[in-house]
Amino acid sequence: MDIESIRAYCLSLPHATEGIQWDNDLLFRVGNKIFAVVSLEITPTRLSFKCTPEKFDQLIELAGIIPAPYMARNKWVTLERLDALSDAEIKSLVKNSYDMVVAKLPKKIRETITRET
């Protein structure tokens, strides 16, 4: 995957938005909550996202995947390069991150989003 394919995938999810924050990181949000972050200034490009505690433990054992700086306590991982996993695995994990964030949104916002999926 590259930045553009990640961007296209993230924005294809219902109510997903994007924005630049923290100098030059591309953030993807749903209901104003972050579900994925792409570093724009670091080479190779890095991608961070939330995962389940079990998946977190599995992923950080793989080469090229580390606990996300500042967010590891919340079970976020960082792919140090975009070829650390297959495109299908990345999409699945980003979708799972999105779903976990949606599940924690206030009921009214969550119902609006889930009604359209």
Q: What percent of the chain has pLDDT over 90?
A: 78
At what angle are helices 107-115 and 87-103 packed, to 10 degrees? Answer: 140
> Residue 117's pLDDT is what?
54
Q: Is 20 helix (H, G, I), strand (E, B) or coil?
A: strand
What are the structural domain ranges in the chain? 3-115
* CATH fold group of domain 3-115: Aspartate Aminotransferase, domain 1 (3.90.1150)
Instruction: Give 4: exposed, middle or buried? Use CB within 10 Å, 0-12, 13-18, 19+.
Output: exposed
> Cβ(34)–Cβ(21) under 8 Å?
no
Residues 66-97: pLDDT tens digits?
Answer: 999 889 999 999 999 999 999 999 999 999 99
> Residue 44's pLDDT is what?
87
The strands making up 76-79's β-sheet, listed across from edge to edge, are 16-21, 25-30, 33-39, 47-50, 76-79, 65-67
Residues 27-76: pLDDT tens digits?
Answer: 999 999 999 999 988 788 899 999 999 999 999 999 999 999 889 999 99
Whole-structure pTM value: 0.92
